[in-house]
Chains A and B, each alone.
Chain A
Amino acid sequence: MNLFLAVAAQAAEAASAPAAQESGNLPFLIVGLWVLLLSIFVGFEVIQKVPPTLHTPLMSGSNAISGITIVGSLYCVGNDYPLSAGILGLIAILCAMINVVGGFVVTDRMLGMFSAKGGKK
């Protein structure tokens, strides 16, 4: 119980600290939550009516997009981070890059099969 109280207190402190949010000084958390809310909405709208034929390419294409963490991993190799974080960052880069390139190329291959056959018709 103590633990949760402490967590809650910390959270409250963090939330109230930048309370003096005059114009343009919103804490990132709030901006981020706005962005999150709107992108989830866009995500749902954009994907709602995809035909079943494209479920696999959609999944593997969006899977490649989830490799966007590559951006995050690049920061971790920067001088802001100590050496050991840099090593974790390098592993992250490797994983994310396999995800990104592998994902997009596989999706392209799949979609190539759709269009190849479209031409034959």
Chain B
Amino acid sequence: MLAMISMTNVVELAYMASSLLFILGILKLGKVKTSKQGNLWAAYGMALAIGATMLLLITRGDWDPRPGEWAYQSHALAIGAMVLGSAIGWWLAVKVPMTSMPEFVAFFNGLGGAASMFVGLAEVPRAVERGQTLSTEGADFAIAVILAVIIGAVTLTGSLVAYAKLAGKLNKSRIGPLGSQGFNILLGAVCIGAGAWGGFFAADPMGLWVSNGLLTLGALLLGFGLTLPIGGADMPVAIALLNSYSGIAGMTTGFILKNNLLIVAGSLVGASGIILTQIMCKAMNRSLTNVLVGGMGESAGGGGGGQKDEGYTKVKSTSAEELAAVLDAATSVIFVPGYGLAVAQAQHKVRELAGLLEKKGCQVRYAIHPVAGRMPGHMNILLAEADVPYEQLYELDRINDDFKNTDVVVVLGANDVCNPAATQDPKSPIAGMPVLTVWDARTVVVVKRSLASGYAGIRNELFQMDNSLMFLADAKKALEDTITELKAL
């Protein structure tokens, strides 16, 4: 038998090819022109990895029926679970409206964490069967199992909290003791204690199950506790970070199973999540710790909207009629979308209005703040759904100098990302955060449901500046009315 062409080596080479596909896939995913292909390559990499693994398990006899155990058909069950999982995943992915994208990305992410957690836990019955501690297979093995369970579980429940917050089903920062720093530290201690016990000392079935059960429970609660305090506006950071966790959890399972592919794929995802987290934090001029501890504005209700008007005195209100007239006279318009646009699902209406203006020879652009919306790049995806050409989307540093040469800026459901306090008031909680300097434009029209403060819970002086007009309405309704008025002109 030639050693080089053993099945193990063939599979190992397939794993190498699939690692390469992942790396090239992500590389291509990062460029607009090749992104679709990149995603496809990564998917091929995944299919190759799954195929190779199945081939190995089948040829090795690992999936042979086991005599004596109730009709346990590993291969049939495994393939059944795969088909069912694929069907559910496919169905969800096709059915999800583009506007609920952030929460579904969070949901899928949580399932990835869950998978890593279960892979870690699967080592427990094995240790029970052997009657030995997990660390008998090496301290590194035991640590990998403990970390896979902890990180996987935190990813799972953390993502579920993110899902619920994004779907608007949850806006609390505490549930009982969950969410307080003290309780998180306690849970962390429980995880470390139970992990050390379960990984290094427990060798009897009872001890192994109880310790690892405690570890799992502690880590699941920790995921809740760590994510609850993170405010709705900080969700882009939370999602990016949870994404990174799911990669790290996958990476640790690579150390459990001594599998390089898992390490490569897991750490790629881990690294990408960390970079996105960094970008998001920088866009808010806040440290990661600050975001994780949460709190900003959350105590004031956190649900956005519905808060008392903050005592603005010289607000000038406007109407669809006036906005239409203002826009009709403009030669350059910049739209500033925010979360309110997503909530109102008004992206198609913006596009329609922009189309009308363009027909009149007006220059239309969109200014996108990096943390506008609820996930990294949220506004881009929303506007892309409405067929807004991405050439019209401008990042903060590419457009800020242009506001002063712009006739009209229409702020659609955005607030904190264009709050002058960030640049003018050093004592403001958002001081130093890069913001869109919309007030430099000749006229600013702010379309917003109410004068309530945004997630940061602070006043926005923009609302009563001399050149700004407030249009208090739901973004979609406001745009619809404006389009009607504009057509009538």
Contacts and interface: CB of A to CB of B under 8 A. Distances in A.
Interface of A: 3, 6-7, 10-11, 13-15, 17, 28-29, 31-32, 35-36, 39-40, 42-44, 46-86, 88-118, 120-121
Given A29-B140, A32-B255, A72-B253, A105 B262 contact: no
Contact of A77 (B26, B31, B74, B247): B74
A105 B90 contact: yes
B131 interface: no
Given A86-B72, A92-B115, A114-B32, A66 B243 contact: yes
Contact of B53 (A47, A74, A102): A74
A109 B275 CA distance: 24
B139 interface: yes
A93 B271 CA distance: 24
Contacts of B309: none
Contacts of A70: 46, 49-50, 82, 115
Interface residues of B, number: 126
A13 B381 CA distance: 52
B328 interface: no
Contact of A97 (B86, B124, B262, B269): B86
Tell me what chain A mostly uses at the interface: helix, strand, loop, or mixed.
helix
A101 B89 contact: yes
B256 interface: yes
Contacts of A76: 118-119, 122
B321 to A, nearest CB: 31
A104 B22 CA distance: 12
A68 B376 contact: no
Given A49-B30, A78-B60, A79-B62, 5 more contacts: A28-B258, A39-B267, A51-B30, A53-B32, A106-B104
Contact of A40 (B39, B74, B271, B368): B271
Contacts, number: 408
A112 B376 contact: no
B63 interface: yes
B470 interface: no
Interface string B40-80: 10110110011001100100111110100100101001100
A72 B140 contact: no
Given A10-B200, A32-B260, A105-B90, A97 B40 contact: no
A39 to B, nearest CB: 4
Contacts of B261: 68, 71
Nearest to A68: B265
A83 to B, nearest CB: 6
B104 A57 contact: no
A106 B256 CA distance: 30
Contacts of B138: 14, 17, 29
A79 B387 contact: no
Given A59-B105, A67-B112, A110-B101, A98 B85 contact: yes
A28 to B, nearest CB: 4
A107 to B, nearest CB: 5
A113 B347 CA distance: 13
A96 B380 contact: no
B461 interface: no
B440 interface: no
B327 to A, nearest CB: 23
Contact of A58 (B23, B272, B385, B389): B272
Contact of B243 (A28, A62, A75, A90): A62
Listed from nearest, the 8 A-B pairs whose CB atoms lie closest are A97-B85, A43-B271, A55-B377, A101-B89, A102-B89, A78-B62, A105-B93, A92-B118
